[in-house]
Structure 1
Amino acid sequence: MFLNKANSKTNSENRFQIEDGFFYLTIFMDSIYMLMKKLLFTVLLILPTHLFSQQNTEVFLFDLNTKNGNFTLSNFKNISNNKGYDNQPSFVDDNTILYAGTRNDQTDIVKYNIKYDSILYMNHSEGSEYSPLKIPGQDAVSAIRLDKDGKQALRKYSLSNGESELIIEDIIIGYHVWFDEQILVSSVLEENYLSLYATHLNEMKNHKFQQNIGRSLHKIPNTNRVSFISKISEPWEITSLNPKNGDTKSIVTTIGEAEDMCWMNNGTILMGVDDTLYTYTPDKDADWIKVSNLKAYGITKITRVTISPDGNKLAIVGELIEKTELDPNEKLEPKIENVAWISGQWKGEAFGGQTEENWSAPSGGSMMAAFKLISDGKISFYEIEIIREVENSLILQLKHFDSELKGWESKDDTVDFPLKEITRNKVVFEGMTFEKIGNNEMNVYVDMHNDDGSVKTVKFNYKK
């Protein structure tokens, strides 16, 4: 057994909190507390879960581009879109996400198919399930089950029929991660804190390594180690563990008391704090680097981040900012990430014909689009467009081509639209404005200059 002893607290008021909506209770202790501690802890565990309120969280999905040192998000989608508690996503594969979702005043395991944008509730138990994870080498999922009588245990659920069976019963697991097919690393409920354990399932033996840790447990890519948050002292530390021999190594301190993180395939840590994402690459970065702000998407209070096996999808848990809190006229920074919502395949009608405008996701500090107008079944003209970062601002540039791809402008000439401003729902260039109507609809307003010097603004309505 490997054990590091944390300093215990003997305050007159002791707060015991298991996050993510399990339960929250404040116990005022008096002089007989030390005699009654175990009894009170048992009573706490059997209290019905409906007595404790849960957050109104959502699971969001982004496309993620990290090529050539970029960190660019696009194609934002609220995949849970459900009132109540939806949290703890994990990827089964590049096309499937599991998460704990609210249904009928309890949480069940939800399986989301990215390709078909569909959800399936996997189980129909009397209790609530949390933290679903694919079990390595099995067609099954592990999840924390919290029964109505307060009993809490880690169970295995079949992916084919949802039936479950007990995995471990002699410790109370709050959070877990699979190191391999036979070793499970977990945060275990003990006294008024979480402790770090590794369970060797082939022997059914539990090894305790440390007291006072956080909820965030992750397998570190391309290593024989897992990471955990050590809360023994302040500031908290992201620490690695070899669960076979108990060896631990400090990696980096957390950002304040944040503990929601994951590992990217290249060994970089991604951490969410409030509405901002940060990265840190061990043995390379001197400090955390801010890579994205999600306020433009209306997301705040990030509580989970996880990345698909291929590294191209990012799932985030957070809360939606109330619309009354968002100022639609708030000016945003002139950065390509703040116009990423323009990306996608858009279709509409204009000039008596059909229009198509397909914008790429941001990469390399720019976005690219192809436009065409079809009239009477024939191509009228094409456009190639780009939005790129230049001199701490953005510029939109385009070139026209006829149906045979012969350019209207001379070889080196472009039609340029310098940026004026970006707000939450508009990107305003000089002579062209993009207006966000919804996640799948936008208007584009273009100033058309007539021979007599007058200007007419033409509206293009697009839908994905």
Structure 2
Amino acid sequence: MKKYILSALTLSLTPAVLLAQQNTEVFLMDVRSTEKEMTLTPEEVFKSLESPHEIAKRLGPPLNISNNEGYDNQPSFLDNDNILYASTRNNQTDIAVYNISTGKKTWISDTPGGSEYSPLKIPGKAAVSAIRLDSDGLQRLYEYDLQTGEFNELIKDLKVGYHVWYNDHIIVCTVLVANRMDLVVVDLKKGANTTVAQYVGRSLHKIPNTNLVSYISKADKTFKIKSLDPIKGTIKKLNAIWNGRDDIAWLSPHTILATNDKAIVQVPADTTGIWHVFHQPDASELYKMSRMAISPDGKKLAVVAEPSPNKIVQKQLERFNARDLDGFVNCYTNDVLVTNFPTDTISVGRQPMKEGYRKFYEKTPKVEVKVANRMVLGTTVIDHEVVTINDKQNLQVAVYEIDGRIKSMRFIRDKKVDESSETIVQKQLDAYNARDIDGFMDTYSENIALYNFPAQLRTQGQLAMRKGYGEYFESTPDLHAEIKNRIVIGNIVIDHEEVTANGTKFSAVAIYEVVNGKISKVTFVRE
């Protein structure tokens, strides 16, 4: 198999620099609930934070409308049936349009020597505006005619980062100045530019059914959502942004949505509101969510997300089996680390990997990898793999760490299953759940070592371990661990555990190594 052959400042001021390396997709979902249904009692709010899966399903299943290798981002609705977004093709970023009714994608721009970002419909025109970044570094706001494809510069001499149309001739935009973004009101008819705030974020929106625009102020330690009346120049604080995030959307004049990687959250648009869960998606479908857009009729929501760790690992497996060398290595970071578990380095970097696999394919006409068992814990994926090379089968475990792409792989090689290893690990689990410290410690060797993944030593020796777990058992009457998944390979047992302790639940993976009938080493992988 594939493993056997191997012995910026967040506020980046240019869209291309910030975004070119991201692999993101645009997803579309139906909005199921009315605003009345989303008004929760204090008890329901608390419950939604503790167990969001029980009530927070207010959107339909996500549909990947971009489905494209590379950067697909910055969605906005042209109308209720068409979505604009920036999409990678031919090594540049152009404006794409997805039609909801037909499911077809078309293109608005194809600019030689330039890329477009942040497309928006221009009020009262069959045209859209977008930030154009030319290969020479020039960054300006342009207008693109939907019928002819012709384009022209809208604002001269301002390096516009993000923008929103207030009406057909007034634009509220962020302008890149030194190491910050300023909020500027541009009147195209008068040719006037007025700076109204400094240190602002990228999320600009016309607040539905009002004469106001919202923006995020980053002038203080706590980021705030504020409203601006572009005509009067008045500014009002609406709320603090959830967890310092960059992206919001308006579900209605009264409700703001934001993302926190794993969930979409909501808050009333006033200074007394409390954020709580609006929708909790399956992490295997939507992961690290960011920008959002809501259709004019409020019935559709578009959200940007990265591929989930599970999908990234599955994709590299499929590309490997298809002998697609470029597609396979592109699933990995440029500095990918490959080791035998835990830290015995095999190789570093994508290029050495590519050369090794090229030679492997040349001399190996038949190879296939299948996943017998998979564990997913946050950004870590653990696969128990069946490797067939020229009709000979082997087993191994691969531990993948994901950060947009696979940044490390650690392998446990083919070994005969030792049934006594699983027996001793199960014995320690039973003693753990019984809070039997003597029975629990009897399953471990005298020199037992506990590690945080991949190799950070926590404690060593029976004495330190007994003290820590003894106190834990005494102070945690509801302690219980349930095995969600288990992999056994030779003398190593890998358990995906859900642990209940003091009324809360958390997940972890424990990698047990058994020597001479005792557990000699445990490595913990946490979210």
TM-score, with structure 2 as normaliser: 0.53
Q: Give the residue type in structure 2 aligned to 1:152.
A: Q
What's the % identity of the aligned pairs?
A: 42
Match of residue 178 from structure 1: 165
* Contact 1:220–1:227 under 8 Å retained in 2: yes
Q: 2:91 aligns with which of 82, 98, 105?
A: 105
C-alpha distance in structure 2 between counterparts of 1:128 and 1:75, whole Å: 31
User: Which structure shows the bigger proportion of residues in strand conformation?
Assistant: 1
Match of residue 499 from structure 2: none
C-alpha distance in structure 2 between counterparts of 1:150 and 1:329, whole Å: 44
Q: Does the C-alpha gap of structure 1 residues 329 and 74 become closer, same or farther in structure 2, counting only changes over 3 Å?
A: farther
- State the 4+ residue runs in structure 1 displaced beyond 4 angstroms: 324-331
CA shift for structure 1 position 328: 6.6
* Contact 1:213–1:228 under 8 Å retained in 2: yes
* Contact 1:17–1:23 under 8 Å retained in 2: no
Deviations 1:163-207 (A, max 9, x none): 100100121100000001111000100010100000011101100
Q: 2:21 aligns with which of 54, 60, 78?
A: 54
Match of residue 32 from structure 2: 65
C-alpha distance in structure 2 between counterparts of 1:62 and 1:20, whole Å: 30
CA shift for structure 1 position 211: 0.8
C-alpha distance in structure 2 between counterparts of 1:128 and 1:269, whole Å: 31
Match of residue 256 from structure 2: 269
Q: 2:132 aligns with which of 131, 145, 151?
A: 145
Q: Secondary structure at the match of 1:72?
A: coil
Q: Does the C-alpha gap of structure 1 residues 285 and 124 become closer, same or farther in structure 2, counting only changes over 3 Å?
A: same
Match of residue 89 from structure 1: 75
CA shift for structure 1 position 66: 2.0
Match of residue 430 from structure 1: none
Runs (5+) with no aligned partner, structure 1: 1-13, 25-51, 332-422, 424-464
Q: 1:156 aligns with which of 140, 143, 160?
A: 143
CA shift for structure 1 position 245: 2.0
Q: Secondary structure at the match of 1:23?
A: helix
* Contact 1:107–1:130 under 8 Å retained in 2: yes
* Contact 1:16–1:193 under 8 Å retained in 2: no
Deviations 1:134-172 (A, max 9, x none): 000001000000011111100000111221001001211
Q: Does the C-alpha gap of structure 1 residues 16 and 296 become closer, same or farther in structure 2, counting only changes over 3 Å?
A: closer
CA shift for structure 1 position 264: 1.1
Match of residue 153 from structure 2: 166
Superposed CA RMSD: 2.5
C-alpha distance in structure 1 between counterparts of 2:292 and 2:272, whole Å: 20
Deviations 1:98-142 (A, max 9, x none): 000000011000011000000001111111000000000001000
Matches within 5 A, 1:273-292: 273-283=260-270, 286-292=273-279
C-alpha distance in structure 1 between counterparts of 2:24 and 2:278, whole Å: 23
C-alpha distance in structure 2 between counterparts of 1:161 and 1:279, whole Å: 40
Q: Confirm whether residue 207 of structure 1 aligns to residue 194 of structure 2.
A: yes
Q: Confirm whether residue 23 of structure 1 aligns to residue 10 of structure 2.
A: no
Q: 1:114 aligns with which of 83, 100, 107?
A: 100
Q: Does the C-alpha gap of structure 1 residues 329 and 280 become closer, same or farther in structure 2, counting only changes over 3 Å?
A: same
* Contact 2:210–2:253 under 8 Å retained in 1: no
Q: 1:257 aligns with which of 237, 244, 254?
A: 244
Runs (5+) with no aligned partner, structure 2: 1-7, 39-56, 315-372, 378-483, 485-527
Q: Secondary structure at the match of 2:59?
A: strand
User: Which structure shows the bigger proportion of residues in helix conformation?
Assistant: 2
Match of residue 327 from structure 2: none
TM-score, with structure 1 as normaliser: 0.60
CA shift for structure 1 position 295: 3.3
Q: Give the residue type in structure 1 aligned to 2:77.
A: F
C-alpha distance in structure 2 between counterparts of 1:97 and 1:194, whole Å: 27
Q: Give the residue type in structure 2 aligned to 1:122.
A: I
Q: Secondary structure at the match of 2:291?
A: strand
C-alpha distance in structure 1 between counterparts of 2:282 and 2:180, whole Å: 33
Match of residue 359 from structure 1: none
Q: Give the residue type in structure 1 aligned to 2:31.
A: L
CA shift for structure 1 position 268: 0.5
